[in-house]
Amino acid sequence: MRILLVEDDAALADGISKALRSENFAVDVARNGEDGMHLGDTEAYDAAVLDLGLPKVDGIGVLNSWRKANRIMPVLILTARDGWSQKVEGFKAGADDYMTKPFRIEELVVRLRALIRRAAGYATPLITCGPLSFDAQLGTFEKDGLPLKLTALEWRVLQCLMLRKDTTVDRSNLVERVYEGDADVDSNSIEVIIARLRRKIGHEMIETERGRGYRLVTPQ
């Protein structure tokens, strides 16, 4: 899953990015509101983490702009502003969650996973597809009750397919959700990842719709 982090504190942004990547998220970072607004308008993200006290355009201005443009990605405000009136302002602007600094990175990860899962239409963390199960709260996959060992890219692709099971996911959408904005993506990289996943979960579980993309299905 791909996250947009809009945070002007370089050290904090680097720390959050590193922690999120260790949890298999792809992360793009914007250091001011203007760049964050642009990325949120032009790139595909599963969620955004947004500071309020940003240079050029503040966080509320960024969020207002996204919502007026019908950008529906979940947005978690992460800020030092802990006043009730500021929280209300954030939610009125269209925030889905609100955390104050200082914070624990473990809580940020759990909240992001919950936002992404609910945005995909799942009320509970456990998602199943035949012998495959995904705990969206812990971020773990199992097949036939046994842990499934995945690389970060395999995890991102499989999560994207799992949250949209029985629905064809366009190849271009997979590329957008799996890779960070500055990644050098090989033309057949998704095909390679799909092939590896089929060996791990069963070829019959991932169908190819020629010319479009891939669909995770329950095997017959």
3-state SS, 114-133, equals HHHHHHCCCCCCEEEECCEE
The label of the residue with tokens 């069963």 reads 202
- The whole-number pLDDT of residue 187 equals 66
Digit-coded pLDDT (tens) for 154-164: 999 999 999 99
Residue 83: its pLDDT value, please? 83
Phi, psi angles (nearest 5°) of residue 184: -90, 100
Is residue 122 predicted with pLDDT exceeding 70? yes
Q: State the pLDDT confidence band at 41, using cuts at 50, 70 and 90.
A: very high
Would the pLDDT of 40 be above 70? yes
Domain boundaries in the chain?
2-119, 126-216
pTM of the model: 0.90
Across 74-94, average pLDDT = 92
Token reading at 190: 């998704």
The rounded distance, in Å, linking the Cα atoms of 186 and 6 is 27
The tokens describing 89, both together, are 């302002």
pLDDT tier for residue 178 given thresholds of 50, 70 and 90: confident
The percentage of the chain sitting over the pLDDT mark of 70, rounded to a whole number, equals 100
CA 158-151-215 angle, to 5 degrees, is 15
| Confidence category of residue 13, pLDDT binned at 50, 70, 90 | very high
Report the pLDDT averaged over residues 182-188: 73
Q: Which homologous superfamily does the CATH classification assign to the domain defined by 2-119?
A: Response regulator (3.40.50.2300)
Is the pLDDT score of 1 beyond 80?
A: yes
Give the model confidence (pLDDT) of 47-81 as tens digits. Answer: 999 999 999 999 999 999 999 999 999 999 999 88
Q: Are 196 and 148 in contact (CB under 8 A)?
A: no
Question: Does the pLDDT at position 211 exceed 90?
Answer: no
Mean pLDDT of 103-128: 95
Percent above pLDDT 90 for the chain: 85
State residue 53 phi and psi, 5-degree precision.
Answer: -85, 75
Looking at CATH, the fold of the domain delimited by 126-216 is given as Arc Repressor Mutant, subunit A (1.10.10)
